[in-house]
Structure 1
C-alpha cells in the first residue's frame, strides 16, 4: 500500500517498537509509520478486546430477555444504543493505538483505565435495558473518554503544526460529545432516542473534522487484524451464549429433539459467518482515509449483528423449551434477521470488491434473502438457515476455484 505523508509531518523512524523496550522512562507519544513492518496486535490490545466482550455479553443477555418477553421493539432500540457506546469506545482506542501506541508505562496505565470504564459500563447495561437508567453506562463511558482524551493531549504535546491541531481537535471533540451524552440522564424517555441519534452522528463527525487537514498514520494490516480479532471474539461469544442456552434447555426440560436442530443450525451460521468474513484480504480495502472511515464505521453493523445472532439463538432455544412468550416465527426471526444483516454488510463493505462475475457477486445477497425466507420454516427455521449459509460457503469456494487466476 502506498502512502503520501501529510504535509508538515516530521520524519519518523520505521523501526517497530520492541516488546523488550523499557517501560520507563516515559517515551514521547509520537506517531508510528503506516508502512511499519511486522505490525501485530499487542497483548494489551487483546486484553482490551476480551474485557469489551463482557459488555457485549451483557447487552446480548438483555436483548434475549426483551425479545423473549415480546418486547422486541424496546429491546432492539436499547441494544442499538448500548452497543454503539461499546463499539465506539472500542473503535476510538483501536485506531488511536494503531497510530500512536508507544507501549510505555503511562500508555499501559491509561489503557487499563479505559478497560475499567468498559467494565463499569457493562455493570450498568441491565439497568439501561430494564429501567432506562443510564447513569452507570454514562459514568463508565466518562471514564473511558477521559482516558482517551488524556491520550490525545499527550499526543498533542509531542506533536507540532497540523498534527498537534488534529490531536487537540480529537481531545476537544471527545470531551464535548461526552458532555452532550449527559442529556440522556435528564431528558424525558420519549426524547432519548432522538438524543442518541444526534449524539451518535456528532461522535462520528469528530474524526472527520479532526482529520480534515492532517491524517493519523493508522496501519492498514494492523487495523484489519484488530477488527478481525474482535469479530472472532464476538462470534466466540455467540457460540458460548448458544451453548449455555442449549444446556439450560436440556437441563430444565427434556427437549433435546427440539434443541438439536437449533444448535446445529446456529453452529453452521457462525461457522459460515467466520468463513465469509475472512475469505478475502480485508487490508487491501484500506488504501485511504475515506475507505478507512467507511469500512470502520460500517463494522458497527457487523459487530452488532454478529452478537445478535447469539442472542437470537438463545431466544430460539427458550421458545423451543416453552420459556419464551413469542411465536416460533418471531423466535426464528431473532436468528435469521441478524444473520442476513451480517451477510449483506460483509458483502457491502469488502467482499464485493474481490468477487469476479455476476455469480460470485450474487452469492451473499441471495444468501441473505434465502436466510430471511427460512424464518417461515417453523421448527426447522434455524437449521434451514444454517444449511443455506453453509451452502453459500460451498458455492463460493467452488466458484472461486473455477475462476481463472488472471481474472
Structure 2
C-alpha cells in the first residue's frame, strides 16, 4: 500500500493577520467572497425598509414626502455600500482583523436601516429631519472605514498618499455627520449639509485615484459586486409581487388575476434583470480604469434607486388591489411605470457612456419601450383591471430583450471591440 500523502494547508485555511499590501488588479478568477455576500444581506434589510416606507407614503398620496425620504435613504444606503465594496476590491485580506471590522460595518448598516422609518415619518409630518439614528449608523460605518484606510496606508507605502486622501476626506465629512446627530436643523438646512458633506467625501476618491496613482481595485470583481447588489435590489420586485398576489388572494381568492399578477411582477423583475447584464461593465472598466470608473460607479446610485422604487410600486399596486390605497389607478400604475422608465433610460445612458456610442437601434427600442409604458397608463385611464395594467408594463424591458437578441448583440460586440481597441491604443 502506498503511503498517504500529506495535504498542504490552503492559504485561506486560517485567518491570521495578513499584510494589507493591495490586491493584484490582473488577478484571475477574482470573485465576490462569502464575507462580501454576508455583508450584502444587511442591505437587503435597508432596501426593504426604504421600499416599504416609500410604498406606504405613495399609497397615501404623499408623493413629495415619499420621494424626498426615499432619495435621502437610497443615497445613504448606496453610498455606504460603494465605499466598502471599492475598498474590499483593492485591499481585502480576509484576515481576522478585516473580518471583524467588516462586522462592525454591518452593525452600522443595520443601525442606519432602523433609522429609516422615523426619518420618513419626520419628512411626512413636515418636522425637523429625524435622522439621528441613521447618521449614528453611518458614523459607525465610517469610523470602521477610516480604520481600514489607515491600515492600508501603513502597510502599502507605495499607495500611502492615495489611502491618506481617503482618510482625510472621510474624517472631514465625519465631523459634519456627527454635528447632524446633536443639532436639530430644518429640512432645508439638513439636506444642504448632506449635499456639502457628500461633496467633501467625493473629493477623496477623485484626488486619490487621479492624482496619487489610485488603488488596486479589480475591474471584473467590482462589476460583479455591482451586479450582485442589482440582484438584491431586484428582490424588492419579488417581494412586491408576493404582496400583490396576497392582496388578490385575500380579496377574491385564487382566480385568473392571481396568475396574471404573478406573471406580471415576476416577468417585470426578470426582464429588468436580463437587460442589466447586457452592460459590458467589466470589459470596459478593465481597459478604461480612470476615465470611466467614476461616472459608472456613482451613476449606479440612481439605477439601484429605480430598481428598489419599482418594487415599492408593486407594493402600491398591492395596496390598491386591497382597496387600501388613497390614490387613483392611474397614479398607482405610474408608481411602477415611472421607475421602470427611469431604470431603462439610465441603462441606455450608461451603455452609451461606457462605449461612447449612440446606436440608432437604441432610439427605436427606447421609442418602443415608451409606447409600452404609455399603453399601461392609458389602460389604467380606461379603468382596465390592475392585473392587466401590470401585464402590459411587464413588456417594457421585453422590448430591449427582443431587440438585443434579434440583432442588437452584433451592434454591442462591434461597439465593445472598438472601445477595447481604443483602450489598448491609449496605453
Normalised TM-score (structure 2): 0.84
**Residue pair 2:55, 2:312 contacting (<8 A) in 1 also:** yes
Name the structure 2 match of 1:278: 277
Name the structure 1 match of 2:346: 345
Name the structure 2 match of 1:8: none
Q: Deviations over 1:21-62 (max 9, x none)?
A: 5312x1121111211111111000011111211111111110
- Determine helix, strand or coil for the equivalent of 1:350: helix
In structure 2, relative to structure 1, the CA distance for the partners of 1:183 and 1:337 (3 Å cut) is farther
- Cα distance in 1, alignment partners of residues 132 and 409 from structure 2: 53
| RMSD after superposition | 2.4
In structure 2, relative to structure 1, the CA distance for the partners of 1:195 and 1:393 (3 Å cut) is same
Name the structure 1 match of 2:249: 250
- Cα distance in 1, alignment partners of residues 187 and 247 from structure 2: 35
Q: Deviations over 1:287-319 (max 9, x none)?
A: 222311110001001111111110001101211
**Residue pair 2:142, 2:174 contacting (<8 A) in 1 also:** yes
- Cα distance in 2, alignment partners of residues 364 and 116 from structure 1: 43
- Determine helix, strand or coil for the equivalent of 2:216: coil
Tell me by how many angstroms 1:328 deviates. Answer: 0.9
- Cα distance in 1, alignment partners of residues 311 and 65 from structure 2: 18
Which residues of structure 1 form unaligned runs of 5+?
1-17
Tell me by how many angstroms 1:77 deviates. Answer: 0.8
Name the structure 2 match of 1:164: 160
**Residue pair 1:285, 1:350 contacting (<8 A) in 2 also:** no
In structure 2, relative to structure 1, the CA distance for the partners of 1:216 and 1:127 (3 Å cut) is same
Q: 1:123 aligns with which of 111, 114, 117?
A: 114
**Residue pair 1:59, 1:83 contacting (<8 A) in 2 also:** yes
1:20 aligns with 2:12: yes
Q: 1:382 aligns with which of 375, 387, 390?
A: 390
- Cα distance in 1, alignment partners of residues 132 and 84 from structure 2: 22
Q: Deviations over 1:185-237 (max 9, x none)?
A: 42112322322332333332321123322211110110111111111121123
Tell me by how many angstroms 1:174 deviates. Answer: 1.0
Name the structure 2 match of 1:331: 332
In structure 2, relative to structure 1, the CA distance for the partners of 1:201 and 1:259 (3 Å cut) is farther
**Residue pair 1:343, 1:364 contacting (<8 A) in 2 also:** no
- Cα distance in 1, alignment partners of residues 83 and 25 from structure 2: 18
Tell me by how many angstroms 1:245 deviates. Answer: 3.7
**Residue pair 1:259, 1:320 contacting (<8 A) in 2 also:** no
Name the structure 1 match of 2:383: none
Q: Deviations over 1:1-31 (max 9, x none)?
A: xxxxxxxxxxxxxxxxx6625312x112111
Name the structure 1 match of 2:6: none
| Bigger mean CA offset, 276-285 vs 325-334 | 276-285
Give the length in aligned residue pairs. Answer: 388
1:107 aligns with 2:103: no
1:400 aligns with 2:408: yes
- Cα distance in 1, alignment partners of residues 307 and 152 from structure 2: 34
In structure 2, relative to structure 1, the CA distance for the partners of 1:406 and 1:315 (3 Å cut) is closer
Tell me by how many angstroms 1:391 deviates. Answer: 3.4
Name the structure 2 match of 1:240: 239
**Residue pair 2:260, 2:391 contacting (<8 A) in 1 also:** yes
- Determine helix, strand or coil for the equivalent of 2:12: coil
Q: Deviations over 1:120-143 (max 9, x none)?
A: 111111111112411111111111
- Determine helix, strand or coil for the equivalent of 1:390: helix
The structure with the largest alpha-carbon Rg is 2
In structure 2, relative to structure 1, the CA distance for the partners of 1:375 and 1:19 (3 Å cut) is farther
In structure 2, relative to structure 1, the CA distance for the partners of 1:78 and 1:368 (3 Å cut) is farther
Matched ranges for 1:23-172 at <5 A: 23-24=15-16, 26-131=17-122, 132-160=129-157, 163-172=159-168
Q: Deviations over 1:341-363 (max 9, x none)?
A: 11111111136756998453225
In structure 2, relative to structure 1, the CA distance for the partners of 1:69 and 1:281 (3 Å cut) is same
- Cα distance in 2, alignment partners of residues 357 and 74 from structure 1: 36
- Determine helix, strand or coil for the equivalent of 1:332: helix
In structure 2, relative to structure 1, the CA distance for the partners of 1:401 and 1:127 (3 Å cut) is closer
- Cα distance in 2, alignment partners of residues 172 and 305 from structure 1: 32
Name the structure 1 match of 2:423: none
In structure 2, relative to structure 1, the CA distance for the partners of 1:392 and 1:68 (3 Å cut) is same
- Cα distance in 2, alignment partners of residues 405 and 108 from structure 1: 40
